[in-house]
Structure 1
Amino acid sequence: MSSFAQIQPDGWKRPSGYSHGITSSAGRMIVTAGQIGWNPVSCEFESDDFVAQVAQALRNVVEVLKAAEALPVHLVRLTWFITDRTAYMLAHKEIGVAYREIIGGNYPAMSVIIVSALIESRAKVEIEATAVVPV
Structure 2
Amino acid sequence: MAGRGTLVLTGGLIGWDENEEFPEGFVPQVEQALRNVVAVVAEAGGEVEHIARLTWYVRSVEGYRRSLAEMGAIYRNVMGRHYPAMALVEVSDLVEPKALVEIEATAIVPDT
TM-score by length of 1: 0.79
User: What pairs with 1:97-108 in structure 2 (closer than 5 Å)?
Assistant: 97-108=73-84
Per residue, is there more helix in 1 or in 2? 2
State the identity %: 45
Give the distance between the partners of 1:77 and 1:130, measured in 2 at CA.
Answer: 5
Give TM-score, length-normalised by structure 2.
Answer: 0.95
Partner of 2:71: 95
For 2:10, the equivalent position in structure 1 comes to 32
Mapped to 1, the partners of 2:82 and 2:92 lie a distance apart of 29
| Greater radius of gyration (CA) | 1
Q: 2:45 aligns with which of 51, 66, 69?
A: 69
Gaps of 5+ in 1: 1-21
Q: Is the 8 A contact 1:51 1:91 kept in 2?
A: yes
Q: Match for residue 20 of structure 2?
A: 43
Alpha carbon RMSD of aligned pairs, Å? 0.9
Query: Counterpart of 1:119 in 2: which secondary structure?
Result: coil
Determine whether 1:60 maps to 2:54.
Answer: no
RCO comparison, higher one (Cα < 8 Å, 6+): 2
Task: Point out where structure 2 has 5 or more consecutive residues left out of the alignment.
Answer: none
In structure 1, what residue type is equivalent to 2:20?
Answer: C
How many residue pairs get aligned? The number is 111
AA in 2 matched with 1:33: G
